[in-house]
Amino acid sequence: MTDLLDYIGLGMMAVMNGPALFEIGGIGLPIALVMLAAGLFTGIAVGATPGLAGPMAMAISLPLLISAFGFSPDALLPVFAFLIGIMKGATLGGAVPAILFNLPGTPDAMMTTLDGHPMARNGQPRRALRIAQLSSVAGDSFSDIVLFVCAPFLAVVVEAYLDLPEKTALLILSISFIAAVMGASVGKGLLSVSLGLVVAYIASGNDLSPRLTLGFDALDAGVPLIAAILGVLIVGEILATLETLWRNNRALDVKTEAHGTAQDGLAPGDLKRITPVVARGALIGTVIGALPGVGSTLAATLSYSICARRAKRIPDAQPFGTGAPEGIAATEAANSAVSGANLIPVLSLGIPGNAAAVFLILAADSIGGFNPGPAVFAMPEGETNPQLVIAFGIFTLMAIGNLLNWTVGGAVMRSMSVLAKVPATRLLPVVLLVSLTAIYVQETSMFAVWATLVFGVLGYAMRRLAVPVLPFVIAFILAGPLERSAREAFAATGADPWFLFSSPTSVILLLMALAALVFLGRQR
Amino acid sequence: MRHPSLRLTPSRMLGAVVIVLAVLALLVWVPNDTVSGYVQSKRGRVSIGDAMAPGLAFGLMALSGALILWETRKSDAPGQPDPRGPAFLAVMLGICVVALTVMIWAGPLAVALFAPDETYRNLRDAAPWKHIGFALGGTGLVTALVCLVEHRFSRLALLIGLATVAVLIGVFDLAFDDLLLPPNGDQ
Amino acid sequence: MTHFFKPLLAVAALCATAITTPTATLAQDWTPPGPITMYIGFAAGGGADTQARLIAQGIEEKYSWTVIPQQAPGNSGLTLAAELAKAPADGTAIGMVVSETMSYSSQASGDPAFGYENFTMLATTAEFQMGLVAMANGNFDSWDKVKGAAEAGTPIRFATASDRQADMAWHLGQKVGIDFNIVEVRGGKGVMDGLRGGDVDIGWVAGAQSKPVQQGEMVNIARGIEAPLADSPDAPMITELGSDFLLDGYFMFIAPGGLEPAAREALGAAIRDVAEDGATDANGLLTKAFGGAAVRTGEDLDAYMTQANADAAELMKAVAE
């Protein structure tokens, strides 16, 4: 127990005592904190800009951050600080154009437009923004606390009770779960997963002559990770959105604008009204967020519809859809609560559940010295586990990020409303060049840039055919661990072909994987 | 009017194509492009070969194609076959390919014309040579895409392209000593 | 500026062959005709990557040559070798791998293009501190316990991070009559994570075990190199346990084949200069994490590589039997 407290202390110190960027009044400002604040403001700005989203900003800033801070373990906390800042800021910023202009800045802010925009149109934009901010930060803080408690616990349980075969089974379960819950159909989810696996298996085998290269020398080192992920996630999105804009130049333009009246701002009794709604939304978001791949849109929809149904039963309640504060609170609390809980499987098992988590894993992978997974939470005797210090440093940063969101987040949100008017027709080509350049700088090979374009086309085609893209990316990341753990388990059990069925735990995990595909897929 | 379950919708076509490709890969690609096969005997033991994981992945892909066909057996959205979509994508890709080609060859061309006794490789970290390709190709890419989407040429688009390139050169090239802008790391 | 030197160098080279001037003077005159690309055959962020980057930094500071580090990891260093084979042999392309890449791995790949005679060996920087590692105070924390457990019929999981290490594990097992379950994992870090998580029992680690061993978390139960390990001088050599071969090796720099002797000597000297100078960061890292600088160049290095290739062929033959 005292060990744990020591680590928490070390983690906080790692953030606070890091190299100072500059000094104010003799007190050094730690670089990690500066990066956190910068990331947070960037995130709010990005969320507030229609056509941009948090993951896109994380993707573009990652190569820049790595160039700036290098590959040493000292780089981990500042880089994570910026990325976590973007993640937290973007969920907050997405509500701004949703409320003010009826235009969701991020996909998960869709439900916020339903009550947020009517309230703003009724002359209370500040009140709507304030309610959104408070509910969002409350949901985020709650799920972060759950993360702090659950991730170490889960990791310790996994490491203590799961042997190599069970770890393989657990990876199979996560991949099939993601295929089942994401997108319109299990078939298309599985297609996305299998594509991700196949691409990841190019030239990644054990043989000294690389497999599946089709004789191309350029593929001998495999498909660059960053090219595949950014291609499908970012370039595919840019190509698809540019096409939409080409058909209709005004598709992402501001349509209606709301202006405040005299009695704007939080009304008396608002806090009391939204508290139970926020609590329920935070809980829904956290539970859903902890499952890889389910996502914030579902959490927001679920929370909103549950609250709307309850509101109907109360006779004098304000109906949803007319600018009810509960409507804003229900969606914002739920979609923000997803982001913290989503890191539970990331930190404890190395399994990413959404695009933001993908980029955190990518950052850890690129810098080195921190490998998300059970080993992060090991407490070896007589030695300090630097990964655990980093983990608690990350927790500290998340807590401080929430604090910033509580205090200054609202003011930043209001100031960003102007960004909703930046035309996406000019912004997206710029984002494309920045992404391609960032990829080149990290990979130093034109092949990576061409590969990014090819994967961009794949991402575009997947969007047009309603094949979800996130399972591709997650499967791409988990493909290596899956194959390795299966090989290790097979070898460790002395070449037992039935190693996956050698223990009850692994059989249960496999049955759950099958059940996820059969039952979760059917309900749609 | 054909029976609805026989109409060829995009999803059904996708399912069929996926099955065919996955089976082809399983029969031709995987066996011919891996060395150790599905299992191999090594150091007196059987171990998993390099073909196992891709083989299973392609198997999963075939299964996914079958599932897509099965899911759409009763009804499926007909989809709107709009030839303008792929055509627009082709134009966008054309712009990218031309811009990247300019990016790669403009620098070496300039060296061949103006500094004939040097090689571009030896000048890849020297201004202004190292900026020529990136500046021309990058500006072209942004400007052309903005003009394409906005259906008109504007001087503003050119300005945006130039500004983006200038900022990127400032961020990556001036701020970091060891970073090379495209295409200079391939030289 | 530098291109003015090129004709001069050519003349100098001619003179050298004509009147056999000592090559030392030639090497001192040599400067790279352009920026040097230093390929690094290891994942970014690890100890080997840091080592290479610090050496690049040291060369830039001491010689004011431009050195641009670039990652080329994968396939036991052969990805880097393929990249290097395409680069010009004028000293502007060098790469850091391990000696194993140019011996065991190149032979095992079966592709003669990867043969060590098709590349130029520049200089080694550090020798592997190869140990057979287990958790301290566990069931396998000495060689006797490993043998005892095997005799009692316990299957023993032996983690290895490369084909050569796996061959060596099998060979050792054959010689002492233990049928190890050989588990191939990723890198020395993968071996140590496996040990910590209880997934494997023993495994080869080439130097990264230094800190856990010093802190009493792990032990070296045997060593794979000739010289005693800095952390565990008492660990027996594997040839004393029954193995016919050692599991030794170096981190080293290579260049494309056919590099002119002056360039080879100048680059080798530059690397030695940086690695052995106690004032450089590179030397600090080598001392702290790699058991000190161990630089071998020129004919000495060629002789080592010839021997290493002969050993690798023997090992593969022994394992195939």
pLDDT digit string (tens) for A243-274? 989 988 766 666 666 666 656 778 888 888 89
pTM, entire model: 0.89
Alpha-carbon dihedral A450, A453, A454, A459, rounded to 10 degrees: 160
CA A134/CA A266 separation, integer angstroms = 11
Q: How far apart are the first and last CA of chain B?
A: 60
Residue C130 belongs to what H/E stretch? none
Segment A305-310 mean pLDDT? 88
Tokens 């010093």 belong to: C214
State the span(s) of chain C assigned CATH 3.40.190.150: 2-128+249-320
pLDDT band at A62 (very low <50, low <70, confident <90, very high): confident
Give start and end residues of each alpha helix (H) in B25-170: 30-32, 52-71, 84-114, 129-150, 155-168
- Which residue in A80, A77, A81, A87 sits closest to A43, CA to CA? A87
Helices and strands (DSSP H and E) totals, chain A: 23, 2
* DSSP type of residue C126: E
Distance CA A88, CA A239 (A): 26
Is there a contact between A488 and C194 if contact means CB atoms under 8 Å apart?
yes
Instruction: Evaluate whether A321 touches A114 at the Cβ level (below 8 Å).
Output: yes
Average the pLDDT over C25-51 and give the result. Answer: 86
Highest CATH level, class, for C131-241: alpha beta
| pLDDT tens by residue, A434-450 | 999 989 988 888 999 99
Which of A26-35, A73-82, A407-416, B162-171 shows the lowest mean pLDDT across its residues? A26-35
Tens digits of per-residue pLDDT, A36-56? Answer: 999 999 999 998 887 788 888
Outline where C64-97 has alpha helix (H): 78-86
How many helices and strands, by DSSP H and E, does chain B display?
A: 6, 2
* pLDDT tier, A161 (very low <50, low <70, confident <90, very high otherwise): confident
Would you say residue C20 has pLDDT above 50? no
**pLDDT score recorded for residue A349:** 87
Q: How confident is the model at residue B6 (pLDDT cuts 50, 70, 90)?
A: low
Q: C-side interface with A, Cβ within 8 Å? A: 43-46, 49-50, 53, 70-76, 78-79, 82, 105, 108-111, 155, 157, 163, 181-186, 189, 193-194, 196-200, 211-212, 215-217
- Residue C10: what pLDDT? 45
Residue of higher predicted confidence among A17 and A26: A17
Specify the pLDDT at position A102: 84
Task: Work out the average pLDDT over C221-228.
Answer: 94
pLDDT at A256: 60
Which pLDDT score, from 0 to 100, does residue B80 have?
60
How far is Cα of residue A344 from the mean position of the Cα atoms in its chain?
Answer: 11
Contacts of residues A23-26 at CB distance under 8 Å and 24 or more positions apart, as own/partner, are none
- B30-61 pLDDT tens trace: 999 998 889 988 877 888 999 999 999 999 99
Q: State pLDDT tens for residues A111-129.
A: 898 999 999 988 898 999 9
Any idea which residue has 């704007």 for tokens? A264
**Residue A275 and residue A281 in contact, taking contact as beta carbons nearer than 8 Å:** no
Whole-number Å distance between alpha carbons of C20 and C275: 30
Instruction: Look at residue A72 and give its three-state secondary structure.
Output: coil
| Mean pLDDT estimate for chain A | 88
Pick from A439, A293, A434, A288: which is nearest to A357 by CA?
A293
Tell me which of A184-193, B73-82, B124-133, C104-113 is least confident. B73-82
**Owner of token pair 């811009």:** B99
Q: How high is the pLDDT of residue C13?
A: 44
For residue C76, which residues of chain A lie inside 8 Å, CB to CB? 208
Distance from C-alpha of B81 to C-alpha of A465, rounded to nearest angstrom: 11
Using a CB–CB cutoff of 8 Å, tell me whether B119 touches chain C. Answer: yes
Q: Nearest to residue C103, comparing CAs of C308, C300, C246, C275?
A: C308
Q: Phi and psi of C280, rounded to 5°?
A: -90, 155
Q: Which residue ranges does chain C devote to CATH 3.40.190.10?
A: 131-241
Distance from CA of C3 to the nearest CA of B (A): 7
Domains of chain B, residue spans: 4-71, 84-186
| Residue scoring higher pLDDT (A441 or C102) | C102
pLDDT at residue A394 tops 50: yes
Q: Which range among A117-126, A404-413, C92-101, C281-290 has the greatest average pLDDT?
A: C92-101
Q: What is the arithmetic mean of pLDDT over A332-355?
A: 89
Residue A523 is predicted with a pLDDT of 47
**Span C2-128+249-320 CATH architecture:** 3-Layer(aba) Sandwich (3.40)
> Who among C68, C167, C179 is closest to B125 (CB)?
C68
Instruction: Look at residue C3 and tell me whether its pLDDT is greater than 80.
Output: no
Per-residue model confidence (pLDDT) at position A212: 93
Q: What count of Cα atoms within 13 Å lies in the side-chain half-sphere of residue B149?
A: 29
Q: Minimal Cα distance from A445: which residue of C? A: C70
Instruction: Answer yes or no: do C79 and A375 touch at CB < 8 A.
Output: no
Predicted pLDDT of residue C21: 43
Alpha helices in A320-423 (DSSP H): 325-341, 343-349, 355-367, 386-407, 409-415
C31 interfacial to chain B (CB closer than 8 Å): no
Which pLDDT does position C271 carry in this prediction? 97
For the ranges A321-330, B73-82, B116-125, C308-317, the lowest mean pLDDT is seen at: B73-82
